[in-house]
Structure 1
């Protein structure tokens, strides 16, 4: 089930029921809907640990507001690389704006297996006008971290 990847459980053993998996599809993808646009600072992914950990490498982490092509045309935060079996890795997205966070394995037929995805950011609706000015400032280096599950 897709929601197993956002259940708060970091266990990376697929057999314990806390990981999600797609079918063995061409360009398999997974998406979470945050229900409103957020400024996303980072996304942390826990990879499957009992086997197949290399399968996620080459995946793309996408963030945006469009559901065109199931959200898989949204801007890329990062290409996922260097994840070993059972590892947890944080990817910096530097305040990208989006309601949808997608992970896709483009141009290959394979299972996409995720044991946890944690999205950190601030809903736009909760940001003050001064927060927007701060985000737009080229000298800004701070980021907010709110867990969205």
Structure 2
């Protein structure tokens, strides 16, 4: 078995509320005690989304999402985790790995995405609302032609 490898990349989102940029979901800080202090935050809008460009094609095994710790855990409810190679509709038309039913305040939840392949990992929540994410971790456990970006063991 190959060790799981956490993938990194470039994050963007549909809009930015104040200074809560997309890259805050890949900064390695899971638990943010303040008001979304190390989290992303979109404006209130229709179908807000967040996207990680892995910069190459990977087989994804697991996506772990951490919810904010100060309030509003329901903002992720119904969110779709999508993985694929298309940027059609900002990547939100890619195949669904999982739907987030609920992640408790400040908690992390792991979603299995066996053999899903793609360059883009999206999280999109349906409806008119905000999207806030404190951390997203994307792992693979299948070999590919790409060098390892960073290993968990390091």
- Give the TM interval when normalised to the shorter protein: 0.7 to 0.9
**Which of residues 115, 131, 154 is equivalent to 1:112?**
131
- Whether the 8 Å contact between 1:12 and 1:46 is mirrored in structure 2 is no
Query: In structure 2, what is the Cα distance between the partners aligned to 1:119 and 1:33?
Result: 11
**For residues 62 and 123 of structure 1, do their structure 2 counterparts lie closer, same or farther at Cα, with a shift above 3 Å needed?**
farther
Residues 40 and 95 in structure 1, CA contact (< 8 A), matched pair in contact too: yes
CA drift at 1:84: 1.2
TM normalised by structure 2 equals: 0.78
Residues 44 and 118 of structure 1 are in contact (CA less than 8 Å); yes or no, is this contact kept in structure 2? yes
Q: Match for residue 22 of structure 2? A: 2
Query: Which has the larger share of helix?
Result: 1
- Structure 1, unmatched stretches of 5+, are 128-145
The aligned counterpart of 2:94 is 74
Question: Structure 2 stretches of 5 or more lacking a match?
Answer: 1-20
Q: Which residue of structure 1 lines up, in the alignment, with residue 39 of structure 2?
A: 19
Alignment of 1:52-63 (within 5 A): 52-63=72-83
Counterpart position of 2:55: 35
Deviations 1:60-117 (A, max 9, x none): 00000000010000000000013111110000000200100000002x1111000000
**Larger Cα-atom Rg:** 1
